[in-house]
Each structure stands twice: as structure tokens, then as C-alpha cells.
Amino acid sequence: MSRKQVFQFRDAPREMPAKVPLAERVGGDWHELYGRFGAAEASHQAGRCLDCGNPYCEAKCPVHNYIPNWLQLVQEGRLLEAAALCHETNPLPEMCGRVCPQDRLCEGACTLHDEFGAVTIGAVEKYIVDTAFAQGWRPDLSKVVATGKRVAVVGAGPAGLACADRLARAGVQATVFDRYEQIGGLLQFGIPSFKLDKSVIATRRAVLEGMGVAFRLGVEVGRDVGIETLLQDYDAVFLGLGAYRYTDGGLPGQDLPGVLPALPFLVQNGRIVGGDAPDGRPIAGWETALALPDLRGKRVVVLGGGDTGMDCVRSAIRLGAAQVTCAYRRDEANMPGSAREVANAREEGVQFLFNRQPLAILADAAGQACGVRVVETRLADADANGRRAAEPIAGSESILEADVVVIAFGFSPRAPAWLDALGVQAQANGRLQVGGNGRLPYQTGHDRLFAGGDCVRGADLVVTAVQEGRDAAASIVRLLRGAKAIPALLASA
């Protein structure tokens, strides 16, 4: 088939798949917000790509997907080749096509973005993989030679799954351990199903098992099996422990009834929407299940402007809250969350209060949370990192009335105590230290222990966890082939 018309973008406007109607969303519909392209729509949108000689979209993508190449394959109808090419760089492309903030990454860097509208890269990526799987395509491992090596992967989140995928492709038997009852980590429980349908995760599990990856779920390392046992039974161990430590902000009143930490709120909602009762099964970092209040008819205030905050406000809408407000201490331009998610939340009726810093959560006569005292802020000059601090404005305090307050200030990792005796060092913020001093990338202070994802980087995007799990697997394979450290020349670079 001939190459596309270079200027097709002029006649083909940017389009996304159809959304679930607004009335259904606010009425409690939890299905994925965006539908799926058909073959014609996907080809039409892929054809808008300019095929830049130096594609900015690839450079901005943390896993450096071959985006123009698989867009061209879609336009030519070579779907299975496109699926194979997607998987060359990204072990979880169907996940990233759904949950990546493309507006801040590949699409935000698209040459067409400002004047004509970026190519709908994420939606086409989702089309490629979903359709290929439906047609029976699976990764081709027919030329993989088994090495006889075995690696334990601790954590079935995006970093762990990406690591297991790459190990399987290298002929290494990967066994994934996770304390949750299903794979995916926060992909399964933390990200609402209106962004990522859980059947997508089930399909990926079947694909990985078909590649030879084994899962041991409901097994917590340090409680049900010791790290020493894993080091004895396996040739290496990868730690994809995530970041589950709650950032509470130290607000007075944060322990009041009616105040909910974001992560348990989302995890328990995920279990309920998935048809599971929240029966006390563990939530990482929490001892007992959270009793969720009935939000129907309630006023909900969510504190925090990241993607987790957007997941919380949009979940509250679907749970029947009468009024949902997001309060953020900086302005909209400085929100860490995806602009697309903010737009979707606003469309669904969420109210945003910018330049509002919470000071305390207030209680009524019955001891129940009834509001948040906030102060208006202004932004100071940017610091060395380009971040502008929010400075309170004297005399501008006010109260936001609320029946339920959700705290979504983010999460940080916590190094487990069982690593102490193994020479694995952690920073003061809980992040595990890896690499450096001649060690392999993602190798910890213990030669056969590797780590990646949020437990190393801190809470970040799904795609960055995928990238680190993928690249850590490459280091593990090098170790298993006899490499003890990176060459001296590279170590000094």
C-alpha cells in the first residue's frame, strides 16, 4: 500500500473515540469513558501523523515507543505487525494507551498539537492491542531458548509485570508474588474502571501466563514467605513494591469520621465496583479495610490536584455525591494532574477551587467532619526546579462545607524492614537506592536484588514504572549471564 498523504492532517481533524454520555456517567456508570476506534477511524487518525524525521512524540515517551512506525502500519492495515512493534518497547501498551497522560507526554509533544490538534496516539495504541488480542495475536516466543534460570518478582504492579514480561522473553522463568488477590496493583484497585476496565488486566494476565509467567497471589513477602527463602530458591529477585505510604499533610482533624485517605477509598471502590465485598482483605499500608460512607446526596471535598485527586472526584460523582469540590493550593496551570482528566471532571460537574490551601478539617457537634478551613494563596517566584511555591494571603481564610473529605496529597514508598539485613539502602524518603558505584542499573546493595518503579522513583506515572521494570529485567538478564557490574568506562561516565 502506498504511503499516506503528508498533509492529510489538514482535512482530517483530531478525533477521539465516542464518550459514555454525560447523563450515564453522573448516573453511576463505571464503564470506560472512551469507546474504541474501529479500523477505519483508527486508520484515518493514524494517517494524520507527519512522520517527522525527528519524532518528538517518541522522545517524550518514557519507553520511547516507535509511534510513527506503528501509526503507519495501522494506516496500511498491518495490525498484527503494529501490535508486535508496540510490544517491542512497551510490555503493557494497552494499559498505557488508556491511563497515560498523553496530553503531557507523546501527544503534548506532537508537532501538530498547537495548531491542528495532536494525533490521537493513545486511542490508536489502545485500538491496536485490543484488536490484535481479540484476533488471537500473542507475543511470539518460538525462538526463545530457556536458560534454566528463575527470578522472583515481588509486586504485580506495572513495574513487576513489565519485568516479568521481559524476563520471559529472555528465557527466564518469572514467578510474581503479590499481597493482593489479583494482579495489577493500583492498575487493578487504585485506578477506577472508568479509566481502565478490569477485563483488560485479566487479558494481560492470560497473556503473561501463556508466556510462562507464574503468579502467586495473596502472598505477602515478609509475612507468608521470607526474602531469604526467595533468594535461596531463585537466581535473582526484583522488587516492584510500589508507593503506598499516605501523605496526610498533618492537618488538624484529619482523623475525624468522614475523612478518607485517597488510596483506601479508591481500592475499596475498585473492589465494590468489581463485585467484591470489602471484607477486610489488606490494603497495602493499611491494617484493616476502610468502611466507606454512603456518598449519595453528600457534599464531598477532595484535597489535592494530581491524577489521584481526579480519580477521587470522578468516583465521588459516580457514587451519587450531590456536590464535589476539588481544592488545590496552586493555580490550574500548575496542577500536576492531566489536563484531559481535569476537563473530564469539570464536564461531570466537579467544581474546582484553585489557590486554596487547607489549614484544618473541622468537626460538628457530633464529632463528624463538616468542613475544611482554607486560605487563599498566591504563587511565589519559581525555585531552582522551576516550581512555584504557594504563599498564604493573610486575612483570606474561609470554610468549605463538607460531609466527606478525601485527602489526595500523594504517596511515597516505604522500605520494608526485611531489607535491612540484606545491605539494601533506602533514602530518608523511603526510596530504595539502586545502581551507581559500578553496579548494574536497578541493582541494589545486594547483588541478586533489583528494584524499580515507584519504590525507587517515588509515586509516578504507570509508564515510568513500566520503563523501569523493563530496564531492570535487562540488568537481571545481564547478571544471570555473568555480568557482576557495569564496565568501568560506563561506571565513570
DSSP per-residue letters across 134-156: HTT-----TT------EEEEE--
pLDDT of 383: 77
Same fold, 8-134 and 247-410: no
User: How far from chain centre, in Å, is Cα 492?
Assistant: 33
pTM of the model as a whole: 0.92
| pLDDT band for position 2 (cuts 50, 70, 90) | very low
Higher pLDDT, 23 or 423: 23
Render pLDDT for 173-183 as a digit per residue (tens, 0 to 9). 999 999 988 99
Which residues 6+ apart lie within 8 Å of 387 measured at CB? none
Do the Cβ atoms of 450 and 439 come closer than 8 Å?
Answer: no
User: How does pLDDT run across 22-44, given as a tens digit for each residue?
Assistant: 999 999 999 999 999 999 999 99
Which residue, among 404, 407, 321, has the nearest Cα to 369 in the 3D structure? 404
Strands 369-382 and 356-363: antiparallel
Identify whether the C-beta of residue 406 lies closer than 8 Å to the C-beta of residue 302.
Answer: yes
The pLDDT tens digits for 62-118 are 999 999 999 999 999 999 999 999 999 999 999 999 999 999 999 999 999 999 999
Rounded Cα distance between 271 and 181, Å, is 11
Mean pLDDT (the chain, rounded)? 91
What percent of the chain is helix, strand and coil (3-state, nearest 5)?
Answer: 35, 20, 50
Yes or no: domain 150-243+413-491 corresponds to CATH 3.30.70.100:
no
**How confident is the model at residue 484, as a pLDDT?**
63
CATH class of 247-410: alpha beta
More confident call, 442 vs 386: 442
Please give the angle made by the CA atoms of 17, 23 and 26, to the nearest 5 degrees: 100
Asked if 291 contacts 283 with a C-beta cutoff of 8 angstroms, the reply is no
Grid coordinates standing for 58?
Answer: 517518541
Q: Where are the domains of the chain?
A: 8-134, 150-243+413-491, 247-410
What pLDDT shows up at residue 492?
Answer: 30
6-10, 454-458, 476-480, range with the lowest pLDDT: 6-10
Given a cut of 70, whether residue 493 has pLDDT beyond it is no
CA distances (Å), 189 to each of 28, 271, 343, in order? 18, 7, 23
Q: What is the CATH code of the structural domain delimited by 8-134?
A: 1.10.1060.10
Q: What is the pLDDT of residues 460-492, one digit of tens each?
A: 999 999 999 999 999 999 999 986 655 433 333
* Per-residue confidence (pLDDT) for residue 259, from 0 to 100: 94
For residue 327, list its beta bridge partners.
303, 353
Residue 378 buriedness (CB in 10 A; 0-12 / 13-18 / 19+): middle
Question: Mean pLDDT throughout 282-311?
Answer: 80
Adjacent-strand bridge partners of 390: 379
Euclidean distance between CA atoms 383 and 371, whole angstroms: 32
